[in-house]
């Protein structure tokens, strides 16, 4: 009786987990890192670093990261050395894997300063999804809306206008893994990269959570079976 109830439930749970991971990230939009058991999509985060480096790093620093941290995304030490070596620091020397991400020269756009992006996902309500919506939220202002000087319309930004310009467009970067670089893809990938930067241990933490849930589910079953055994009516 117990088994008849639990087995289909367990199977359904496992299937749902597998299906969620196999799903395309963009249609419908779904981040592998979201949800209680999500894990960082390393391929997406690697592409997201390329987007950051090519389209964001000129204005936004990520002071919380060293180039060597990129090895946690699956890049080899040689690849990391190559990336660091191609970055020229303020004093003219090349960065090394032990250098912090290069601080851009201070940009001031009408009083607004680009925030450091190291922990931006943790700092914004909506997290990963908000970053995606923000980066894809630029467009023409609705009729009747007056933009302040130096501001651009952005549907996701509180108040609807922001001093950051729209920087993503199709093929703003070329992906090493051959993925088509649409605006939406770039936004999703850089959002996943920034999610990892905000919480590098997300995958490990969620894996521990999943193991705990399985352990307690098992404990519950044992407790129920034990109770039935102890209270079974004899004869
Ligand atoms: C030309 C400079 C510039 C570039 C390039 C740029 N930004 Fe920005 N960004 C800004 C400025 C300035 C602000 C502050 C806007 C404000 O507060 O009005 C900002 C704000 C932000 C914010 C915070 C939004 C909020 O809710 O407060 C995020 C997130 C962000 N940028 C992400 C990115 C990403 C990701 C890229 C690369 C794809 C990028 N930016 C490229 C200038 C830039």
Residue of 158, 163, 172, 219 whose CA lies nearest to 47: 172
- How is residue 224 written in tokens? 């129920």
Report the alpha-carbon distance of residue 15 to residue 77 in Å, rounded: 36
Judge if 194 and 228 occupy the same domain: no
CB 58 within 8 A of CB 103: no
163 pocket-lining for ligand 1 (C-beta < 6 Å)? yes
Q: Domain for residue 163, yes or no?
A: yes
Q: What is the pLDDT of residue 127?
A: 93
Q: Domain for residue 219, yes or no?
A: yes
- How is residue 56 written in tokens? 């964001």
Judge if 194 and 215 occupy the same domain: no
Report the alpha-carbon distance of residue 222 to residue 53 in Å, rounded: 52
Q: What is the pLDDT of residue 204?
A: 84
CA distances from 60 to 18, 53, 113, 194, 212 (A): 36, 10, 9, 12, 38
Q: What is the pLDDT of residue 213?
A: 92
Judge if 125 and 168 occupy the same domain: yes
Distance 202 CA to ligand 1 centre (A): 24
Q: What is the pLDDT of residue 146?
A: 93
131 pocket-lining for ligand 1 (C-beta < 6 Å)? yes
Low-confidence ranges of the chain (pLDDT < 50): 19-24
State how far Cα 222 lies from the chain centre.
38
134 pocket-lining for ligand 1 (C-beta < 6 Å)? yes
Q: What is the pLDDT of residue 23?
A: 43
| Nearest ligand 1 atom, CA 55 | 37
Judge if 55 and 158 occupy the same domain: yes
Judge if 158 and 211 occupy the same domain: no
């Amino acid at each position: 009786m117990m088994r008849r109830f639990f087995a289909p439930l367990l199977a359904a749970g496992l299937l749902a987990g597998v299906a969620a991971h196999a799903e395309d990230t963009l249609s419908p939009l779904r981040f592998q890192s979201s949800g209680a058991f999500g894990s960082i999509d390393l391929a997406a985060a690697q592409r997201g670093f390329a987007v950051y480096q090519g389209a964001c790093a000129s204005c936004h620093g990520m002071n919380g990261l060293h180039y060597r941290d990129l090895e946690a995304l699956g890049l080899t030490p040689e690849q990391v050395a190559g990336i660091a070596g191609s970055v020229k620091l303020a004093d003219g020397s090349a960065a090394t894997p032990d250098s912090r991400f290069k601080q851009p020269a201070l940009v001031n756009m009408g009083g607004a300063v680009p925030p450091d992006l190291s922990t931006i996902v943790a700092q914004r309500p909506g997290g990963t999804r908000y970053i995606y919506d923000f980066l894809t939220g630029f467009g023409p202002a609705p009729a009747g809306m007056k933009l302040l000087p130096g501001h651009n319309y952005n549907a996701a930004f509180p108040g609807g206008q922001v001093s950051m310009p729209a920087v993503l467009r199709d093929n703003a970067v070329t992906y090493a893994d051959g993925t088509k670089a649409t605006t939406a893809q770039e936004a999703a990938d850089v959002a996943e990269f920034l999610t990892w930067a905000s919480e590098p241990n997300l995958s490990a933490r969620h894996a521990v959570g999943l193991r705990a849930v399985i352990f307690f589910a098992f404990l519950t079953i044992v407790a129920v079976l034990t109770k039935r055994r102890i209270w079974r009516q004899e004869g």
